[in-house]
Amino acid sequence: MTKHLSAPIAVGAGGGRWRRILAISALALAGAAVSPAQAASYTWNNVRIVAGGYVDGIIGHPGQSGLFYARTDIGGAYRYDNGTWVPLNDWTAPSNWHHMGIESIAIDPRNVNMLYMVAGMYTQNWDGNAVVLVSNNKGASFSSYPLSFRTGGNNDGRNAGERLQVDPNLGSVLMYGTFNDAAQGATNGIWKSTNSGQTWTRLNGFTALTNDGSGAGVAFVTYYKSSASNGSATPTVFAGVSTASAASAGVTLYKSTDGGSHWSAVSGGPTGQYPNHGQIGPDGNLYITYGNAIGPNGMTSGQVWKYSVGGNTWQNITPPNPNNYTFGYGGLSIDPQKSGALVVMTMDRWWPGDTMFRSTNGGTSWVDVGAASSRDASVSPWVKFGASTAAFGNWGQVVIDPLNSARAFYGTGQTVWTTNNLTAADSGQATSWTVGASGIEETATLALISPTSGAPLISGLGDICGFVHTSLTVSPPAGMHSNPICGNGTGLDYAKSLPSKIVRVGTGGSVFGAVSTNGGTSWTPFANQAGSAQGDGTVAISADGGTIVWAPKDVAPAYSTNNGASWTSTGLPVSTSWQILSDGLNGNLFYAYNAATGIFYASANKGVSWYTAASGLATGGKVTAVTGIQGDIWLAASSGLYHSTSSGSSWSLMYSGVVTAANSVGFGKAASGASYPAMYLAGTVSGVQGIFRSTDSGGTWVRINDNAHQWGGYSLVVGDPKTFGTVYIAPNSGRGIIYGTSPN
C-alpha cells in the first residue's frame, strides 16, 4: 500500500488547440480554461478475487522457514510473507509488459536474500527479448540483465521446470535451459552465468535440442550437490530434454560432469514421454515426471521414473492407475527432510479430477492424497465453480516445505492450496487443505463497469467469467457469475437510467448471455443466442433498459427488446472488432465502433436501423460514452484522445501535443464544484506514460500512479460514479483488477 504525490501537468497554449477531423463539433468543453490542479495522493490495492489464473511454479527456501516464491504465466511473481503473497513485479513498465510472464524462478540455497527470475512471456517473434531479474533482497528490488532471445512464460510447456537453477555449492554460478523454439535455433540450449546472472554464455557442448519447435526444450536443470563441496562449482549437472525426437528415442536426460562444458545422453529412460519436472532427493535419486505431451493441456498418459545417480540405473515408479484414467504427470516435490519422501501431481486428469500422489519409500508404494482430503474454499468461494465443494484442482505445481515435512503448497490453473498436515496421509488419514493464495491476483480483465447505484464494481474476466463486487476487499461470497457460469466474460453494460438492470455476455457452454434486474444479485440467461454458436463480443443496454444490442463473435450484431428471448439482426456486418455502446442519457441511441476499420455507426431508434456517423477514425481504439450526457463520446487511441458531442457525427482531437497516446479513458464522480465528471486516462501525457486524472475537463492532468505501480501497462480504466477519486484499472498483464482511492 503506497501513496504518491505528483504534480499537475497543464495543457499549454499549443496543446489547448484542437486539430479538426471530419467536421467541427460545437464542443461543450471548448471553453475549458487551463487552471491549476491539486496534486492527488493515491493508495493502490487489488480488488480481492484471490488468484484466478495459472500459478505454474512454487519453490521454497531451505534457509528460512516460511520463505516461498510463486510464479505465474502472465501476472508476475510473488513472495510469501506471513500468510500473504506479496507481488514482486508491479514496477514493470508498460513498454515491458511481456516481462510479467515469469518463465522460471530460482533461489540461492546458501543465501536467503538472492532471488532470480527469467522474465518473458512468448517465444513468438512479435514479442520482445527476455531479461534475467536479479534481487539481493528477496524481491524488494531487482536489477535487470538482458537476454538476446525470447522466452515463453505463457507458452505451452510453461508448467515444466525449473529451467533456471543456482549452483547449490557456489551461488555466483547459474544455468538456464531454453525452449526448443524453431525461430531461435542459434540461441536455443543451455546458458551459464558465473557472475550471479549479469552475463550469460551459451554452452556449445550441449547440442540436444532440435530447434524444430517441438516439446518444451530444456524442461529442467538440476545440480547434483554431492559432487562438490561448499564454495566450489558443482561439476555434475542434469538436464531434462523435451523434444519430439528425444521422447521418441527415449533419450530425455542429459548429464555433464564438468560444469556444463560437455554433455552426454543418459539412456534407459521411458519412450514416448516428455519430461516435466526433475529433482534430486537426499537418497541420491533423480525423480522425473513425464507426460505424452508437454502440457498444460493435451496429456493422455504419463509416468514417474527415478534414476540412481550413483548406480546409473532407471526404475519406473509410476503410481497405479487401476481405473485406466487418462492423464499425465506434472508437478513434483522432494522432501529434503525425509529420504525417499516425495509427492507428484497429475495433469489433465479431467475425470475424476487431478490429484496428488505421495510416497515415503522412493515410489515403491503411493497414497492418493486427493482422494482422502478436505478443502476449505472460504477465502475465495468462487473456486467451487458452483459445486458444494471445491475440486482438488488441475495442472498442479507443488512444493513441500523444505523445513517442515507436514506443510505443502500446490498451485493450479485457478489458485493455490496449502496444508499443514500432509504427513497425515502417511498413516492413512485425510489431509485438510485451505486456499493459500491470499495476495495473489492473476486474472485477465476483459470488461468492467461501475454502476451509478448498487455494487461498486462488476467485472468480466478471462477463464473465470466475472464477479459482482459489493465489497472490494472480499472475494464475493456468491462466487463468480452464474446462470450461466461462463468461460470468458467479454461484455458488460448497465442501463444508465435504471442501473439495477445489467446485461453480460461471454463464452462457454451453449448460453452466452444473461440479464439481471437486481444489480447482479441474480441472472436470467438469454433464451435465444441470436444464432451464435460461439458467443463472445460486446454488449450494450439502452439507458431505459428496454433494448439490448449484442455483437457476438460469429454473427452479425443483433438487438432484442425482450431480454434475449428473441433477436433481430441490425444489418451491421459480421466482425470480431465491434465495440457496442449505449448513449449515456437517451434510451433511443446506440453506437457501434469498428476498431478494425475506424468506422463509427449510430442508431437513433434503439438499434433497429443504423447509419454511418463517421469514418476515417483512428483504428484499434476504445470508445466510452459519458453517463448522464446525451451524445458525449470519447475515443482513446494510440494517436491521442478524441471527443464527440454529436453522437459520433463529428470528432476532435483533444489536448494535441499533450495527450499523445491513450489506451483507455473513463469517467467518475465529479470533483466538488465541478460540472463535468472526473476524467481518468491510461495513456501518455507530456511524454509520461501512466494513469492520469483531470478534474477540470482536461484543462490539467495529474499522474496518479507512480513507477512502483505500473503492472506492465493498462488496458482499461473506469471511474467510480459514486465516490470521487476512486478508479479501477485493468492491467495489460493480467494482474487482476487494481483500484485506487484518494482523499483529494
Interval 207-262: pLDDT, tens:
999 999 999 999 999 999 999 999 999 999 999 999 999 999 999 999 999 999 99
Handedness of CA 176, 180, 182, 188 (dihedral sign): positive
For residue 52, the Cα-to-chain-centroid distance in whole angstroms is 8
In a 13 Å sphere around the CA of 235, the CA atoms on its Cβ side amount to 6
Give the catalytic positions in this structure: 73, 463
Would you list the domain boundaries of the chain?
Answer: 1-27+35-49+443-475+657-744, 55-117+131-435
Give me the residues of the chain with pLDDT under 50, please: 1-38
What pLDDT was estimated at residue 39?
58
- In 3D space, the residue among 626, 631, 591 whose CA is nearest the CA of residue 611 turns out to be 591
- In 3D space, the residue among 14, 87, 183 whose CA is nearest the CA of residue 439 turns out to be 87
The CATH number of domain 55-117+131-435, selected from 3.40.50.300, 2.70.98.20, 2.130.10.10, 2.60.120.200: 2.130.10.10
β-bridge pairing 548-551 and 558-560: antiparallel
- In 3D space, the residue among 726, 718, 717, 705 whose CA is nearest the CA of residue 92 turns out to be 705
What pLDDT was estimated at residue 37?
40
Q: What is the DSSP letter of 244?
A: H
What pLDDT was estimated at residue 18?
26
What pLDDT was estimated at residue 358?
98
Residue 96, phi then psi, degrees to nearest 5: -115, 35
Query: In whole angstroms, how far apart are CA 360 and each of 206, 280, 340?
Result: 35, 15, 5
CA distance 580 to 162: 44
Give the count of beta carbons closer than 10 Å to the beta carbon of residue 387: 10
CA distance 434 to 271: 38
Dump the DSSP string for 572-633: PPP-S-EEEEE-SS-TT-EEEEETTTTEEEEESSTTSS-EEEE-SPPSS-EEEEPTTSTT-E
CA distance 613 to 620: 18
Q: Is 427 exposed, middle or buried (0-12, 13-18, 19+ CB in 10 A)?
A: exposed
What pLDDT was estimated at residue 10?
37
Cis check: omega of the bond before 476, within 30 degrees of 0:
no
CB 88 within 8 A of CB 71: no
CB 57 within 8 A of CB 105: yes
CA distance 377 to 379: 5
pTM (2 decimals)?
0.94
The H-or-E segment that residue 430 falls in is none
What pLDDT was estimated at residue 40?
77
pLDDT digits (tens, 9 = 90+) for 453-497: 999 999 999 999 999 999 999 999 999 999 999 999 999 999 999
CA distance 11 to 657: 9
